[in-house]
Amino acid sequence: MAKRALSNVSTVEIQAELRRRQQKLPALKRKQKKLLADLAEVENQLAALGISASKRAAISSAPRGRRPKNKKNLADTLASVLSKTKPMRVIEAVAAVKKAGYKTTSNNFNTIVNQTLLKDKKRFKQTGRGKYVVKA
User: What is the tally of structural domains in the chain?
Assistant: 2
Instruction: For residue 32, give its domain range.
Output: 10-60
Query: Rounded to an integer, what distance in angstroms lies between the CA atom of residue 97 and that of residue 109?
Result: 11
Per-residue model confidence as pLDDT tens digits over 50-79? 877 766 666 665 566 678 889 999 999 999
51 lies in the same domain as 16: yes
55 lies in the same domain as 85: no
79 lies in the same domain as 52: no
Whether 90 is in a domain gets the answer yes
**pLDDT attached to residue 7:** 79
pTM: 0.52
41 lies in the same domain as 80: no
Whether 66 is in a domain gets the answer no
Q: Which residue ranges of the chain lie beneath pLDDT 50?
A: 1
84 lies in the same domain as 48: no
DSSP 3-state percent helix, strand, coil across the chain (nearest 5): 55, 10, 35
Number of neighbours of residue 123 by Cβ within 10 angstroms? 15
